[in-house]
Structure 1
Amino acid sequence: MEDERRIISLVEYHMHDEDSESSDREDDGISSEGEIMAKGDKKSKNPNVSYDTSLPAQHTYLGNDLEELSGRTLLDDDSCQSLPLLPLPGIVLIPGQTLPLQLFEPSAVSMVKRIIEKDRTLGIVNQHQSPSADVACIGTTAEIRSYIERADEDIRLSTIRLKAEGRQRFQVIETRRQIDGVLMGKVRILPEITLDDPGEGARLHCLDRFRTLPLSTPEHMKVKEQGSIADSTLFKSLVRGKYDKFDFANYTRWPRWVYQQYDTHLLVQRIKQELEKWNCSVPADKVAKTPVDFSYWVAANLPLDDYKRLFLLGLNSDIQRLRCELSMLERYTVLCCRISSCNKDIINRCDVFSMSLEGLQGTYVNPSGYVHEIVTSYKACGLLLQNRSSTEQSWFPGYAWTIASCSGCGSHMGWKFTATKRKLQPQQFWGLCRAALRPALCSGREDEQWKPSF
């Protein structure tokens, strides 16, 4: 019985999305009530993007005269640190993610000045919608990469614009508020656990000369780095196809498919296949990085709510993170309004596409200092446009923005971006706030499986 329970604990059941019939909707039309409608055909192709996707990632709206900072700070794993914390509502920073900020409060400005002179590192924690709400007990260190300080004549105070990058995960142990209003936290830097090869103890090394290794696997790269690969027996056996890396399963109590579910190389390949259904092509530099970096990139680009995003951030292993991300990609097909009483379908996953080198999502800050994580989609439904379009501090240079709200509950959803030049493609697209959306199952039911346990 104990062996049976161990086997069951390794088994993962996947829910496969069933193709639903596409509904008939007006293409980019306006109904009698002024509601913007768009098609959600699952067989839609990526739009022709002639836009320079490197522009949004540069955050030129912050200015072109930011001072670059050299050097990097890396804190020891499992060490306890005292860090100034910056709570941000609706933001869950992921390692490797770029975070733009505009700070106006004197306490925050003075805090950043001290940080720049010291180690340029602060902690970013998620805060609930209410300003008085408690912060999450897990966060990410952010290292300031560039900044500029300016004197605002209107408010007669100095402001700071900066770009930071997420570095390391941490757990908040305790917090205290200083006299100057800065929130300080005692945190523990969370390590990244790398699991050993499960077949190392069962694999017969005498058969390595027959082993077949895909050219992109870490094992093949390791052999290549050792030199003399052209003369090695292992290299000559690449075309024989007599042996594979999961052959050790024949000598264990678990079948081959159990171990395949925990292989990082196969998990990365399956995630790449699922991302194609989201109209997302993985950049080559992201694929070339380690599975840990790839898992963080996927977590930063999945349009998940704060609970699921915190759940991924709390996982200490890249294998666990990749498995959860794969399950989420397979389960969720639409993005709905996050208001539980509304639940109006807004975006189909096949309509999401990349307008930035960062991927499906980008993080931007508006002139008032509010940070938004934006999901770009070339089709949406159930939205109302408000006020006139404007090009002031547009996150996408060359596009004018118009405020969009949910037609069901009236909550702010994001913006519609329209090209100011005819040569730009696409001519229009939607940039919707991740915090305003909620991923839904194909059946429309909410999934409680990914609620964080901390």
Structure 2
Amino acid sequence: MVLVPGQTIPLHLFHQHTVAMIKGVVDSDKTFGIVAHRFSPTDNSSTIANIGTTAEIYSVKDETDDHTGLSSIRVKARGRQRFEILETKRSPTGILMAKVAILPEKVLPDFLLGARPDSHCKFCCRPEEGVVTHTAVDRNGQVLASISMLNNRQINKFTSAYCTPWPPWVYEMYDPELVVERIKKELQQWNNTLNPEKLPNDAIELSYWVAQNLPLDDTRRLNLLSLNNAIQRLRCALSIIQKCSVLCCKDCNVPISHKTEVFCMSVEGPLGAYVNPGGHIHETLTVYKVQNVDLIGRPTKEHSWFPGYAWTIAQCKSCNSHLGWRFTATKRNLTPEKFYGITRASVVPGLEQQDEENEWMPSL
């Protein structure tokens, strides 16, 4: 997986050298690094990404099997800082060690600061839109008069752009407040459960939240993670959000779910990382409805990630690839009664286009 700063990752480890490594990390600074690791389908060679994220452990549960005496460990960690790998080596126990450089977050300055006269500084706050009410009160707080008038302010924080070679709209494209507002507006169109008020207001935090919760493949997520500026990350994410209308099967490209079906089952967002009893991590996106999906087997409550729900394996009807699971409520008064968990690794964002027969035609 590609860990993003702020993202929570659960781990269930069995291999003894990995368990020993994590125990050593817990006894020291509780921090280790996570990088994406891939195997080539042609020659079975492995490669690792040159960008990763540090993870800080905040919960540990050490377990020992009574029959074999082997140790296993469950930990929860949270992504902290991005880093670039400078060089790597293997320890005698097989653990991959790396010399890394922490990637700093670059904050764009106010480009109009030098062109803005002092008399315009009081207009740098964003004006209220529509009708503005001015109220006069006495010393006791009693309203003496109230006047409503249209806000026709001609000067704002971008007016001084006319003193530069570039028009105001160029600077508006990179204004943190406006970019954050556009991202929230686009996300709200996906589904009303993505409440803009619950999303981070800080540009850096929101850029990582979006990178974590968008159903992107590893390559696109790594590209976002490699960017050192939050505005650039948000602008790239905004382009993807505006173009994405449908989620498609990664292997055969048939449509699986629409963006309006995405909802938040977790407090962290619509996409969360879950670990199964075998130690495999599945980043799972929750959606209300799907199409072109077959169910395999009967529902079971065993090891369910969502208490009160039973899961059933879901696969693509076209190519039989594993997509995720359907979760159905086993208790009354649970909302929703059913939903689907689609793994991030099984879908890619696509574009919705309508042909003459009004069918979905995904395009990447």
Shorter-chain TM-score: what band?
0.7 to 0.9
| 1:107 Cα offset (Å) | 0.7
| SS of equivalent to 2:210 | helix
Superposed counterparts of 1:329-408, under 5 Å: 329-339=241-251, 342-408=252-318
Partner of 2:140: none
Residue number in structure 2 paired with 1:297: 209
Q: In the superposition, relative to structure 1, how do residues 284 and 434 fare at CA in structure 2: closer, same or farther (>3 Å)?
A: same
> Which residue does 1:38 correspond to in 2?
none
Counterpart CA distance in 1 for 2:325 and 2:286 is 10
SS at match of 1:159: strand
Instruction: Please tell me whether residue 148 in structure 1 is matched to residue 61 in structure 2.
Output: yes
CA distance in 1, matches of 2:236, 2:159: 26
**Alpha-carbon shift at residue 212 of structure 1 (Å):** 5.5
Distance 2:166 2:197 in 1: 35
1:215 to partner: Cα distance:
8.3
Question: How far apart, CA to CA, are the structure 1 residues paired with 2:195 and 2:45?
Answer: 39
**2:221 pairs with 1:309:** yes
* SS of residue in 2 equivalent to 1:128: strand
Kindly indicate whether residue 100 of structure 2 is the aligned counterpart of residue 187 of structure 1. Answer: yes
Which residues in structure 2 correspond to 1:50-449 (within 5 Å)?
A: 91-129=1-39, 132-209=45-122, 211=123, 213-214=125-126, 241-279=153-191, 280-282=193-195, 284=197, 286-288=199-201, 290-339=202-251, 342-443=252-353, 444=361, 447=364
For residues 129 and 274 of structure 1, the distance between their equivalents in structure 2, rounded to whole angstroms, comes to 35
Do the aligned residues in 2 keep the contact of 1:102 with 1:159 (CA within 8 Å)?
yes
Counterpart CA distance in 1 for 2:284 and 2:245 is 18
C-alpha displacement of 1:441: 2.3
Bigger relative CO (Cα 8 Å, ≥ 6 apart) = 1
CA contact (8 A) 2:50 2:85 kept: yes
Distance (Å, rounded) in 2 between the aligned partners of 1:160 and 1:358? 24
Q: 1:206: Cα distance to partner?
A: 2.2
SS state at 1:321 partner? helix
2:255 and 2:362 in contact (8 A); partners too: no
Relative to 1, partners in 2 of residues 1:445 and 1:355: Cα closer, same or farther, differing over 3 Å?
closer
When residues 123 and 248 of structure 1 are mapped into structure 2, their CA distance, relative to the original with a 3 A threshold, is same
Question: Conserved in 1, the CA contact under 8 Å of 2:189 and 2:260?
Answer: yes
Maintained 8 Å contact 1:100/1:371: yes
Equivalent pair of 1:286/1:293 in contact (CA under 8 Å) = no
How far apart in 2 are the matches of 1:396 and 1:445?
31
Q: How many residues align?
A: 331
Identity value in percent: 49
Letter of the structure 2 residue corresponding to residue 243 of structure 1: I
CA displacement at 1:287 relative to structure 2: 2.7
> Is contact 1:145-1:164 (8 Å) kept?
yes
Following the alignment from structure 2 to structure 1, what is the Cα–Cα distance between the partners of residues 200 and 101? 30
Change over 3 Å in CA distance of 1:164–1:132 after alignment to 2:
farther
State how far apart, in whole Å, the 1-side matches of 2:254 and 2:119 are: 60
Whether the 8 Å contact between 2:352 and 2:363 is mirrored in structure 1 is no
Shift in CA distance, 278/268, structure 1 to aligned 2, threshold 3 Å: same
Give the root-mean-square deviation of aligned CA atoms. 1.8
CA positional deviation for 1:150: 0.6
State the secondary structure of the residue aligned to 2:313: strand
Cα distance in structure 2, aligned partners of 1:274 and 1:154: 54
Q: Secondary structure of the residue that 1:102 maps to in structure 2?
A: strand
Question: Which residue type is aligned with residue 397 of structure 1?
Answer: P
**What do residues 256-282 of structure 1 show as CA deviations (whole Å, max 9, x unaligned)?**
111111111111111111101221524
Distance 1:173 1:145 in 2: 27
Q: CA 1:292–1:215 in 2, change beyond 3 Å: closer, same or farther?
A: farther
Deviation at 1:286, TM superposition (A): 3.6
The normalised TM-score by structure 1 is: 0.70
**Residue 214 of structure 1: how far off its partner (Å):** 3.3
Query: Contact between 2:188 and 2:196, CA under 8 Å: does it hold in 1?
Result: no
Offset of residue 324 of structure 1: 0.4
Distance 2:113 2:74 in 1: 50
Q: Partners in 2 of 1:369 and 1:129 — Cα distance?
A: 18
Preserved CA contact (<8 Å) 1:212 1:242: no
User: For 2:297, what is the secondary structure of its paired residue?
Assistant: strand
Q: Per-residue deviation at 1:425? A: 1.1
> Distance in 2 between the 1:349 and 1:246 partners?
34
Deviation at 1:133, TM superposition (A): 1.4
After TM superposition, list the pairs within 5 Å mapping 1:29-68 onto structure 2. none
After superposing the two structures, state which structure 1 stretch, 391-400 or 152-161, moved more: 152-161
Unaligned runs of 5+ in 2: 129-150, 354-360
**How big is each residue's C-alpha offset from its partner over 1:223-264, in whole Å with a ceiling of 9 and x where there is no partner?**
xxxxxxxxxxxxxxxx78342110111111111111111111
